[in-house]
Every structure is written in structure tokens, then in C-alpha cells.
């Protein structure tokens, strides 16, 4: 005989008092176990199985019967209700996981795993771009649901501000995160793979300003010698033409990197742009300048400490400001221009092998075995090159163009 609400309440009341109730059948395989547990008994694939349908009184008799009928419908379709419930539960869990795995979460995972060996300045800059320019418009979107239109919408706002180059930098960063997401199994495709095709083209790169006329180079060297400024700025500008390293490599130089006995400067890999240690042969003129500088700044670990702190180096802005105060405009000469001067004039001279000049400029060599060979093989040729270059600068400074 089927159950009714009155009988179910009575059975539940007995169970609450601790009386033994057992199980009562409602029909169609639905039973009430121990006065409160709804169960559906059925056969599937030749096996007897049980499906939980809830607990009374949260699940009433009406709801329990509805659950039984839905299960019977699945059975009629050849579907096991228990397996269907497991699949639904897994699907909900997967959806919850995907909702939690936002672009922000994946980007931070990428940042922690892939950028550990990068320079602190680069990491700080990357994190700022994530937090200030990328996360505000797409940080909370689940990575599995990310579409190109989500990304383009935010990047076009950057373009509309006139920051075309920055928009492309952000697109590149987003593309790296999406590539990582695919590799890690967080997403099925790279939503940022083809962004460039829908973006405003980047403006054509303009060469960095550099003085290439020999007479004007001589005048620049004389102006540096005569310009009144701090010791650190003065000697950084005096040494840069001879060494033609990158600004950050020179400004952050430490005294313990210099081998005065063998006239070599060993720049550690972590301070090099390409993350490969670099050795610079020192010409006689450079040795003289370093000894002069050591009398002034030898008490500091840094060659070029800031006036505000002996533990912090001078900034590139300080060097640029000095050039501008010497009345060299930004379209005429920049700090990187010293490298351009050396590269242009050394290559035009025809006296040195291009590979040796490239090694002196610390340009990257993709073949690591070849790179190691170059560092060992070219050192003596680079000694000659660096001394010839220093002698030529002195001639230019003396007006012998």
C-alpha cells in the first residue's frame, strides 16, 4: 500500500524517539528507510542498485516521488541514474573550478613560475602592467571562457589613448599568459594568438639618436670633459664612449667586478640584458679614468653611487639630463647613442670582423655553444679593438678627424 503524508510523519516521529522503524515501501522501488531516508531500489545492467533521493522532512513525499519518476525516465532511456548523478556532480565541480581559474589567477601563476630569473626591474614592470592595465578589464574572466573580443575591447581603449606601442606590449604579455594556459591545460586554445591582425599597426621604429659625424663626436667628448656635474655623472659619461656598454650595465657596476691586474671587467649575467655574463677588455685610457674615479668613489661598492644614497646607483635620467644641459637634443643624441656610434664606426672601418664587433656589443648569440666559443675566441681580438677604439676617440677629441 502506498505511503501518505500522515504515515510518513508518524514514521519520522517514531524514529526521532529512538523507536525501530525499518523500511516502508511506497511503490515503484521508492522506500523510506529508518523513517527519514528516501531510497530508490532499481536494477541496471543486471545488477541491483540503490539511489539516494534525500532526507525527510527536507525532501517531502511529493519530492521523493518526483525524484523516483525522473530516475525511471532515465532508466527508460537506458541511462543509469546513479552514473548520471556522478557526471552532473563532476560537471558542476569542473564549472566551479573553471570559474575560479580566472585570467588573473593564471597570469599570477605564470608570473611566479616563468619569470623567477628575470631582472627585478622587469618583474616590477610586468606586475604593474598586469595590475594597472590588464586585470581591470579582463582579470576576472575565466581563462577557459576568454575570447579574442574580451581582449580587444580592453586593448582598443589603450589605443584610443594614443598608446599604440603600449597596446602591442600588453597584447604580447597577454599572449604569453594564454600560451602558458594552453600548455598547462587551463585552456583549449590561445585566445590572444591572432590579436595583431585586429589591432592598429605599431608605428615604425625610429633609430635611436646618435652623433655619427667624426668632428661632432670630438666636440661631444670635449663637452663631456668640460661639463660641470657630480663625480658619478661626470665619470659615467666619460667612460661610456670607451666602453659602449648599456646604460644599466655601466651605472650599476661594482668595484669587485674589475680585474685591474688583467685589465678586464666581468659583468655578471644577472645584470646583462641577455642574461649571459660579459667580459669587457679595458683600454689604457679606461684604466686611467677608473683609477681617478676610485680616488673619489672607492669608499662605495658602486662606481657611480647617487648623491642621495651610497647604496643606489645614479639613474639614466641623470645622464640624459646632463646631455640635454649640454644642449644635445633628444633627436640628436641619447645615452644609447654611444653604442650606436661604436657599432657604426667600427663596422665602417672594415678593420674588424663583424662577429668580434657583435661580441664587443654583447649582442645575443642564439647558439649557446657558439656563444661560449665566441667569448673565449674573441677576447684577444677584442682587446685590440677596444684599445684601437679608445685611441681613435682620443684623436677625435683632439680634433684629428
Q: Which of 36, 246, 251, 278 is catalytic?
A: 246
Give 316's contacts (C-beta < 8 A, 6+ positions apart). Answer: 247, 248, 251, 335
Output the CA–CA distances (angstroms, integers) from residue 300 to 28, 163, 229, 272, 356, in the order listed: 90, 41, 19, 22, 33
Element (H, E) at 39: strand 37-44
Residues 385 and 345 sit within 8 Å (Cβ to Cβ): no
Q: Which of 351, 363, 370, 400 is catalytic?
A: 363
> Is 312 annotated in the active site?
no
Q: Which of 110, 339, 352, 382 is catalytic?
A: 339
Task: Give me 231's grid cell.
Answer: 663625480
Report the C-alpha gap between 174 and 194 in whole angstroms. 12
> Is 113 annotated in the active site?
no
Beta strands (DSSP E) in 222-371 are: 258-259, 264-267, 278-281
> Is 400 annotated in the active site?
no
Q: Which of 129, 336, 375, 397 is catalytic?
A: 336
Residues 188 and 291 sit within 8 Å (Cβ to Cβ): no
Q: Which of 123, 254, 273, 397 is catalytic?
A: 273
> Is 363 annotated in the active site?
yes
> Is 273 annotated in the active site?
yes
Output the CA–CA distances (angstroms, integers) from residue 389 to 287, 316, 351, 382, in the order listed: 14, 24, 11, 10
Taking the alpha carbons of 178, 184, 187, 190 in that order, is the dihedral positive or negative?
positive
> Is 373 annotated in the active site?
yes
Q: Which residues are catalytic?
A: 246, 273, 336, 339, 363, 373
Amino acid at each position: 500500500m502506498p505511503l501518505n503524508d500522515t504515515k510518513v510523519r508518524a514514521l519520522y516521529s517514531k524514529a526521532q524517539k529512538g523507536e525501530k522503524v525499518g523500511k516502508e515501501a511506497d511503490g515503484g522501488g521508492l522506500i523510506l528507510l529508518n523513517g527519514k531516508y528516501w531510497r530508490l531500489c532499481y536494477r541496471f545492467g543486471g545488477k541491483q542498485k540503490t539511489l539516494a533521493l534525500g532526507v525527510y522532512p527536507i525532501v517531502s513525499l511529493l519530492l521523493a516521488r518526483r525524484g523516483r519518476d525522473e530516475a525511471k525516465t532515465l532508466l527508460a532511456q537506458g541511462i543509469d541514474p546513479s552514473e548520471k548523478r556522478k557526471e552532473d556532480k563532476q560537471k558542476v565541480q569542473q564549472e566551479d573550478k573553471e570559474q575560479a581559474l580566472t585570467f588573473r589567477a593564471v597570469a599570477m601563476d605564470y608570473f611566479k613560475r616563468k619569470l623567477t630569473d628575470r631582472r627585478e626591474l622587469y618583474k616590477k614592470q610586468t606586475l604593474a602592467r598586469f595590475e594597472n592595465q590588464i586585470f581591470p578589464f579582463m582579470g576576472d574572466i575565466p581563462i577557459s571562457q576568454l575570447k579574442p573580443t574580451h581582449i580587444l575591447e580592453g586593448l582598443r581603449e589603450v589605443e584610443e589613448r594614443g598608446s599604440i606601442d603600449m597596446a602591442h606590449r600588453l597584447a604580447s604579455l597577454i599572449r604569453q599568459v594564454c600560451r602558458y594556459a594552453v600548455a598547462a591545460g587551463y585552456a583549449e586554445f590561445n585566445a590572444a594568438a591572432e590579436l595583431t591582425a585586429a589591432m592598429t599597426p605599431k608605428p615604425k621604429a625610429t633609430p635611436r639618436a646618435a652623433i655619427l659625424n667624426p668632428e661632432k663626436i670630438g666636440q661631444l667628448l670635449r663637452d663631456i670633459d668640460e661639463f660641470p656635474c657630480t663625480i658619478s655623472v661626470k665619470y659615467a659619461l666619460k667612460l661610456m664612449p670607451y666602453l659602449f656598454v648599456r646604460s644599466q650595465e655601466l651605472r650599476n657596476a661594482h668595484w669587485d667586478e674589475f680585474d685591474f691586474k688583467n685589465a678586464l671587467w666581468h659583468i655578471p649575467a644577472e645584470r646583462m640584458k641577455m642574461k649571459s655574463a660579459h667580459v669587457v677588455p679595458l683600454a689604457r685610457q679606461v684604466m686611467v679614468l677608473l683609477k681617478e674615479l676610485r680616488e673619489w668613489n672607492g669608499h662605495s661598492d658602486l662606481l657611480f653611487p647617487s648623491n642621495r644614497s651610497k647604496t643606489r646607483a645614479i639613474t639614466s635620467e641623470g645622464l640624459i639630463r646632463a646631455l640635454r644641459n649640454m644642449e644635445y637634443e633628444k633627436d640628436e643624441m641619447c645615452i644609447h647613442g654611444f653604442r650606436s656610434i661604436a657599432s657604426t664606426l667600427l663596422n665602417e672601418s672594415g678593420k674588424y670582423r663583424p662577429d668580434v664587433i657583435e661580441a664587443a656589443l654583447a649582442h645575443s648569440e642564439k647558439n649557446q655553444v657558439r656563444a661560449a666559443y665566441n667569448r673565449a675566441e674573441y677576447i684577444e681580438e677584442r682587446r685590440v679593438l677596444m684599445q684601437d677604439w679608445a685611441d681613435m676617440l682620443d684623436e677625435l677629441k683632439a680634433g684629428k678627424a
